[in-house]
């Protein structure tokens, strides 16, 4: 059964009768810097193509309501302890494309730069819960261009990420189809322990649901334990839905949800209508009333009382580690075989120490040393309990005489101005600042790979000692090569734990037995001495997180950015491309477009560009983070007259296909079975040469050879990055043959015309004896459709 999202969103509503009511698609969320820039670039190129075919360019225009949040991701350039007050304004990198898009397209609301992360803005401001249109009421629902759109499920709004390609289709009137999903019921019981945070709960759930297996399924949370969670706690759990692989992670609306609408300053009359409507249609849930529990495909349980403080890492969000086991676990990872939980460091090098000088002072780095500590990401910065917890811990740490070493790159990047408001009003902001956690901007930074550069002396020490340096961040993803090329280990942690590890300076510490530090009086200060309890945090939250601050921040959100308001408004229907720009370039996707549809063609005699194992993520595929100085993208930018200091990041250049194609499969941690070491290289089989992936693909393309990719399980896990599909398409990849796929990436491949092929049950490259050095002919029938068997000649 297929589900059309355009005229009505047909979902498996988890009521006791398993009925299928109709949900109108309420709106589409667009983020600008990551999925949004290429989306608007694509729309601009589409308008050019339609014009060439004799059509009206204005037909390329959103037909459903779209909220475009321009500022999603920004990059801290300096350590906060070094930065000046102008660093925040310098993050607002305004470009003509943004302003043109805001004026050229109708049915689109613009949230200017500097406002915050899209998901937190959606939760606190944009989400309606119940729509009121032309006298009709219906439940709010949303699709977004970022995988963490699921965050709003915590408020009872059904939503999920579809990636930029599918979102463009929705905006232009095309349906999104999916197989009717199974719905897994996740029953929460008990109460969390006093020292446990919502981050600990979500990391526990992430590991559990990855073990259960929920890819392609909906998860609905129910049971009396849900009533113990605030909306911010629920949103934290819903936000990490992509990390445990589900399509959506839904919390039905209850009285706590209605209370959140009041707390965030929504219109009182609309809140009253919302509650009455939900009561009338039987959608207002009482989680303590088991008679309301739905029937599910499968039910799993978690007793919240069993959750303990934890982190996840060093390379995947599902690899939970109890804080009490962190030191032992990291030391085990040092010597373990290279993999998700191993670095294969020789035993005689486990205690290597490298001395270095930073700003005139001598320091030491070792395996496990923390060099990045970031309170970042929509997952946690939207949650007052963990943010105030971090502030209270900072206050107690400063009062106890503890400090953070100045070479550690610390940053605080909240998801909205509301966070700064309540941190300041509660009196903890100054203490965060003293430890280096000052606000550097509103958006996603370190979690998305925008960590910015480390000090040269720190990088030199890491390289000299071949050290496994560490990043600790309150994010949702820590895949290899994502956070920073010089942090081989990265751990997800709650904001208070981020500060604790920053103070300690290492993850090789047992907080129960070893002090965080020794103050000027010689007193040992332990983590338990400064850790705030849940009751302490809740008392501060009740006093300072109030409706007035939400109203004050969001009443002026669309007008507060004076630089944005001062820009001139172009009136052209078509975008004027600047041939000198290295950021924005007209993409080649619509070159040769005709009115007549082309029939699918057999892929003849293809070479394998890359041969992967399991869990290749979109971070491995899609360009992200820093542009390495020896990369094909760097050579291209150098040829355009840029110096390395001007390269910026791949994320900032997502509107330039020449950069992005060269950055595809350019991850420094790429593991390609054709190569005996990690790195973005492959074998060009006709010549036998080992080349950068882009250079090899160009050789194949020039010779007219199509390409395919071989992979194992969970190909394309991670962010819903459209460039993870666009990049391979531009390299000449015609198909991927894998054991299984992450849903969003598979859909994006289809959207770009790259065929996602899956081995038959029980078969894989090993059982079939495939090495990837063969030539492949894939027979494509004219009536190609999902789940049909096709023939491959090897």
State residue 92's pLDDT score. 40
State residue 560's pLDDT score. 66
The secondary element (H helix, E strand) that includes residue 423 is helix 417-425
State residue 178's pLDDT score. 76
- Measured between alpha carbons, how far is 707 from 727 in angstroms, rounded to an integer? 13
- Measured between alpha carbons, how far is 441 from 74 in angstroms, rounded to an integer? 7
φ/ψ (deg, to 5) at 791 = -100, 135
- Measured between alpha carbons, how far is 27 from 143 in angstroms, rounded to an integer? 7
Burial zone of 792 (CB within 10 Å; 0-12 exposed, 13-18 middle, 19+ buried): middle
State residue 534's pLDDT score. 83
- Topology (CATH) of 603-622+664-793: Aconitase; domain 4 (3.20.19)
Task: Point out which residues pair with 357 in neighbouring strands.
Answer: 362
- Measured between alpha carbons, how far is 560 from 554 in angstroms, rounded to an integer? 9
- Measured between alpha carbons, how far is 579 from 324 in angstroms, rounded to an integer? 56
Q: Tell me how crowded residue 562 is: count the other CB atoms within 10 A of its CB.
A: 8
Q: At what angle are helices 384-399 and 231-239 packed, to 10 degrees? A: 100
Strand 603-611, strand 707-710: pairing:
parallel
State the 10-residue block means of pLDDT for the chain, 794 residues long: 24 26 45 63 93 92 79 56 37 58 79 75 89 88 85 94 81 80 96 93 96 94 96 94 93 97 92 96 95 94 97 94 97 94 95 95 97 87 90 97 96 87 94 94 73 90 96 88 89 97 98 93 94 90 85 74 68 88 92 86 97 91 85 96 87 89 92 93 97 98 97 86 93 97 88 94 94 96 88 96
- Measured between alpha carbons, how far is 203 from 322 in angstroms, rounded to an integer? 10
Instruction: Enumerate the CATH 3.20.19.10 domain ranges in the chain, comma separated.
Output: 603-622+664-793
Instruction: Enumerate the CATH 3.30.499.10 domain ranges in the chain, comma separated.
Output: 9-73+100-306, 310-532
- Topology (CATH) of 9-73+100-306: Aconitase; domain 3 (3.30.499)
State residue 74's pLDDT score. 61
Smallest Cα–Cα separation from 129: which of 240, 331, 278? Answer: 278
Q: CA–CA distance from 383 to each of 372, 376, 756 (Å)?
A: 22, 11, 38
Asked if 128 and 575 touch (Cβ cutoff 8 Å), the reply is: no
Smallest Cα–Cα separation from 247: which of 205, 203, 217? Answer: 217
Smallest Cα–Cα separation from 372: which of 420, 405, 419? Answer: 405
φ/ψ (deg, to 5) at 172 = -95, 10
CA 325 from centroid of its chain's CA atoms = 27
> What are the structure tokens assigned to 216, written together?
């392609």
Asked if 33 and 145 touch (Cβ cutoff 8 Å), the reply is: no
User: Which letter does DSSP use for residue 455 in this model?
Assistant: P
- Measured between alpha carbons, how far is 121 from 378 in angstroms, rounded to an integer? 10
Asked if 122 and 449 touch (Cβ cutoff 8 Å), the reply is: no
- Measured between alpha carbons, how far is 77 from 203 in angstroms, rounded to an integer? 29
Smallest Cα–Cα separation from 438: which of 452, 456, 421, 420? Answer: 420
- Measured between alpha carbons, how far is 733 from 388 in angstroms, rounded to an integer? 48
Burial zone of 559 (CB within 10 Å; 0-12 exposed, 13-18 middle, 19+ buried): exposed
Sign of CA dihedral 341, 344, 347, 349: negative
Helix (H, G, I), strand (E, B) or coil at 270: helix
Strand 9-10, strand 108-111: pairing:
unpaired
Strand 158-161, strand 141-144: pairing:
parallel
- Measured between alpha carbons, how far is 518 from 529 in angstroms, rounded to an integer? 12
Tell me which of 1.25.40.340, 3.30.499.10, 3.10.129.10, 3.40.50.2300 is the CATH number of domain 310-532: 3.30.499.10
Asked if 435 and 404 touch (Cβ cutoff 8 Å), the reply is: yes
φ/ψ (deg, to 5) at 334 = -55, -45
Burial zone of 676 (CB within 10 Å; 0-12 exposed, 13-18 middle, 19+ buried): exposed
């Amino acid at each position: 059964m297929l589900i059309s999202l355009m005229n009505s969103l047909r979902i498996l509503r988890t009521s006791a009768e398993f009925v299928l009511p109709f949900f109108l698609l309420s709106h589409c969320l667009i983020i600008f810097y990551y999925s949004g820039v290429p989306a608007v670039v694509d729309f601009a190129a589409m308008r050019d193509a339609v014009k060439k075919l004799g059509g009206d360019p204005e037909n390329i225009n959103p037909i459903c309501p779209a909220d475009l949040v321009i500022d999603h991701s920004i990059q801290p350039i300096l350590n906060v302890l070094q930065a000046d007050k102008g660093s925040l304004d310098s993050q607002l990198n305004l470009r003509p494309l943004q302003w043109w898009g805001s004026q050229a397209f109708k049915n689109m609301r613009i949230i200017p730069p500097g406002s915050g992360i899209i998901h937190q803005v959606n939760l606190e401001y944009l989400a309606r819960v119940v729509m009121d249109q032309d006298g009709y009421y219906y439940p709010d629902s949303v699709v977004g261009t970022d995988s963490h759109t699921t965050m709003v499920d915590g408020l009872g709004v059904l939503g999920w990420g579809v990636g930029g390609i599918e979102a463009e289709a929705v905006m232009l009137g095309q349906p999104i189809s999916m197989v009717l999903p199974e719905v897994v019921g996740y029953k929460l019981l008990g109460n969390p322990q006093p020292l446990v945070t919502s981050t600990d709960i979500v990391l526990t759930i992430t590991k559990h649901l990855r073990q259960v297996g929920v890819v392609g399924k909906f998860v609905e949370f129910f049971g009396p334990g849900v009533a113990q969670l605030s909306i911010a706690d629920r949103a934290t759990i819903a936000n990490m839905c992509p990390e445990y692989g589900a399509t959506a992670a839904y919390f039905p609306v209850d009285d706590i949800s209605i209370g959140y609408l009041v707390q965030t300053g929504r219109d009182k009359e609309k809140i009253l209508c919302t509650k009455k409507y939900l009561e009338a249609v039987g959608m207002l849930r009482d989680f303590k009333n088991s008679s309301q529990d739905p029937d599910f495909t499968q039910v799993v349980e978690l007793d919240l009382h069993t959750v303990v403080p934890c982190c996840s890492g060093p390379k995947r969000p599902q690899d939970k580690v109890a804080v009490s086991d962190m030191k032992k676990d990291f030391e085990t990872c040092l010597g373990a075989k290279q993999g998700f939980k191993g670095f294969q460091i020789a035993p005689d090098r486990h205690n290597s120490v490298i001395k270095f000088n930073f700003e005139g002072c001598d320091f030491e780095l070792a395996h496990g040393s923390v060099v990045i500590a970031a309170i970042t990401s929509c997952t946690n910065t939207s949650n007052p309990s963990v943010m105030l917890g971090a502030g209270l811990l900072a206050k107690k740490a400063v009062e106890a005489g503890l400090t953070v070493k100045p070479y550690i790159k610390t940053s605080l990047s909240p998801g909205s101005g509301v966070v700064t408001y309540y941190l300041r009003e509660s009196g903890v902001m100054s203490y965060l600042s003293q430890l280096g956690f000052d606000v550097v901007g509103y958006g996603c930074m370190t979690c998305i790979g925008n960590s910015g550069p480390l000090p040269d002396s720190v990088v030199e020490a890491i390289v000299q000692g071949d050290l496994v340096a560490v990043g600790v961040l309150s994010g949702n993803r820590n895949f290899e090569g994502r956070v920073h090329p010089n942090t081989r280990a990265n751990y997800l942690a709650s904001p208070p734990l981020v500060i604790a590890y920053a103070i300690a300076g290492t993850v090789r510490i047992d907080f129960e037995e070893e002090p965080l530090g020794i103050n000027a009086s010689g007193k040992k200060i332990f983590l338990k001495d400064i850790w705030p309890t849940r009751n302490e945090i809740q008392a501060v939250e009740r006093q300072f997180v109030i409706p007035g601050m939400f109203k004050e921040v969001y009443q002026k959100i669309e007008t507060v950015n004076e630089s944005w308001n001062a820009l001139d408004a172009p009136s052209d229907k078509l975008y004027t491309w600047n041939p000198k720009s290295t950021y924005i370039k007209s993409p080649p996707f619509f070159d040769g477009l005709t009115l007549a549809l082309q029939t699918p063609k057999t892929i003849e005699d293809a070479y394998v560009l890359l041969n992967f194992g399991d869990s290749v993520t979109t971070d491995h595929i899609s360009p992200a983070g820093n542009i390495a100085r020896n990369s094909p993208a760097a050579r291209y930018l150098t040829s355009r007259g840029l110096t390395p200091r001007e390269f910026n990041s791949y994320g900032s250049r997502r509107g330039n296909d020449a950069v992005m194609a060269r950055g595809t499969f350019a991850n420094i941690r790429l593991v390609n079975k054709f190569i005996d070491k990690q790195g973005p290289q492959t074998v060009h089989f006709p010549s036998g040469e080992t080349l950068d992936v882009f250079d090899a693909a160009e050789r194949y393309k020039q010779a007219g050879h199509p390409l395919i990719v071989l992979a194992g399980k969970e190909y394309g896990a991670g962010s819903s990055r459209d460039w993870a599909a666009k990049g391979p398409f531009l390299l000449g990849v015609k198909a991927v043959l894998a054991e299984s796929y992450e849903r969003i990436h598979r859909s994006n491949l289809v959207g770009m015309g790259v065929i996602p092929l899956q081995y038959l049950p029980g078969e894989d490259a090993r059982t079939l004896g495939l090495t990837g050095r063969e030539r492949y002919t894939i027979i494509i029938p004219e009536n190609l459709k999902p789940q049909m068997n096709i023939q491959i000649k090897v």
